[in-house]
Amino acid sequence: MTIGKAADHPGETQDAEFSFIAPCLDHVDEAAIRRHLADDTFFWLDLTSPSDEDLTAVERLFGFHPLAMEDVREGGQRPKLDEYGDYALLVFYGCWNDGSPGGRLLHEVGLFISGRYLVSIHRDPLAALERQQSQLNGRALHSEQFLIYRVLDGLTDSYFPLLTEVDDEIDEIEAELLVDPTDSCLQRLFALKRQMVAMRKVVTPQRDLFARAIDQIAELPGLRLDERDYFRDIYDHLIRISDLIDSYRDLLSGATDLYLSTVSNRQNEVMKQLTVIATIFLPLGFITGFFGMNFSLLTGHFINSGWSFWVLGLGSMVLTCIALLWFFRQRGWLRNSAQVPAGTERKARR
């Protein structure tokens, strides 16, 4: 047994009896692929936006089933695990936001898993897979399972940065809703809801898939699945991601209710102010209408001098306004019911 320095990553070892180095390829090199297959050397082939010629070459070199290649070519598959004898096709989704407006967040990856190779095919560049390739290429690994785990773990953990951004954006939207609810806030809420629905459609099947995928992968010929803790770790992460998505959906629904409630309170406040104005002018209209009638009793006996006009005419209207305002204030109708405490904070989510 040869003993070297400690491994840089969990799952790596310097034990010469059990360790191996898995080559990592990023393009279709037919000579290298044939050599690795002939030598029975486990390797990883990662293809980004492969051409039809590349896919045809892959199908010819590895002997993949036409139905499996059709799923990879067309895309849009639901997360699944299909067995084809000595290999299996795992459709798995990663999450990556390239910052471009209208860009896709969910990226489908077709993984051909065997005891002799791992082939991953995807349309868009994925930083998670590129990072794993740079870290695993040339390193001593302790089993084929560990390389498969690192790839799946990288795709799974790619959800967390986006969920962190969603968490921060929900905080910003809620703060804006308490100050000035606008249509743009509502549009951002709906956009986040659509993202959560789309993520839930792929994360939930992936979580359920991993509940039984360990045994199915373990039955593949030539694949040494010596420890199950790695895949249980992925399963735990998928459960956590699923719980976060559900909690964020609830928070978005609560934020939508907050928006509707705030807008409704402001409308009620406007209606209350208009009602107060209309109520004040109601007796004023009665007074002006009453004194505007040219009865001889009024014009000959009551309103026949300057003081009577100011006291009985304008004075009665002023006293009526003051009395109504005092009455409204005593009943509490002039208070602003839409005010929200300035120190309102949202409770911790996790």
Once rounded to an integer, what is the mean pLDDT over residues 288-299?
61
- Give the pLDDT band of residue 3 (cuts 50, 70, 90): very low
Give the pLDDT of residue 64: 93
% of the chain beyond a pLDDT of 70: 77
What are the pLDDT digits (tens) for 91-101?
999 988 766 66
Higher pLDDT, 305 or 111: 111
> What three-state secondary structure class fits 232?
helix
* 297 pLDDT higher than 60: no
Could you tell me where in the chain the CATH 3.30.460.20 domains are found?
20-259
Residue that the structure tokens 């310097």 belong to: 14
Give the pLDDT of residue 316: 74
* 215 pLDDT higher than 80: no
What are the pLDDT digits (tens) for 162-199?
999 999 999 888 888 888 888 888 888 888 999 999 99
- Angle, CA of 90, 92 and 94, to the nearest 5°: 155
> What three-state secondary structure class fits 95?
strand
Helix (H) or strand (E) holding 228: none
Q: Does the model's pTM come out above 0.75?
A: no
Higher pLDDT, 179 or 37: 37
Give the pLDDT of residue 294: 60
**Distance, CA of 93 to CA of 245 (rounded, Å):** 15
Structure tokens at 232: 């249980």
Measured from the Cβ of residue 231, the count of other Cβ atoms closer than 10 Å reads 21
Residue that the structure tokens 């009793």 belong to: 297
Question: Which residues are CB-neighbours of 163 under 8 A, at least 6 positions away?
Answer: 241, 244, 245, 248
Question: Which residues are CB-neighbours of 185 under 8 A, at least 6 positions away?
Answer: 173, 176, 177, 259
DSSP 146-168: HHHHHHHHHHHHTHHHHHHHHHH
What are the pLDDT digits (tens) for 325-350?
887 777 776 665 444 443 444 443 44
Helix (H) or strand (E) holding 313: none
- Give the pLDDT band of residue 262 (cuts 50, 70, 90): confident
Beta bridge partners of 80: 91
Once rounded to an integer, what is the mean pLDDT over residues 7-35?
69
212 and 250 in contact (C-beta within 8 Å)?
no
Which of these, 160, 158, 116, 153, lies nearest to 9 by C-alpha position?
A: 153
Q: Amino acid identity of 197?
A: V
3-state helix, strand, coil in the chain (%, to 5): 60, 10, 30
- Give the pLDDT band of residue 299 (cuts 50, 70, 90): low
- Give the mean pLDDT of the chain: 79
* 102 pLDDT higher than 70: no
Give the pLDDT of residue 137: 82
Give the pLDDT of residue 70: 93
Out of 3.90.1150.10, 3.40.50.920, 3.30.460.20, 3.30.360.10, which CATH number does the structure's domain 20-259 have?
A: 3.30.460.20
Q: What are the phi and psi torsion angles at 162 (to 5°)?
A: -65, -40
222 and 113 in contact (C-beta within 8 Å)?
no
Give the pLDDT of residue 338: 43
Higher pLDDT, 14 or 144: 144
Which of these, 67, 224, 232, 62, lies nearest to 152 by C-alpha position?
A: 232
Least confident of 110-114, 225-229, 244-248: 225-229
Distances, alpha carbon 229 to alpha carbons 236, 259, 291, in Å: 10, 45, 93
Give the pLDDT of residue 301: 60
Once rounded to an integer, what is the mean pLDDT over residues 251-255?
87
Least confident of 19-23, 277-281, 334-338: 334-338
* 291 pLDDT higher than 70: no
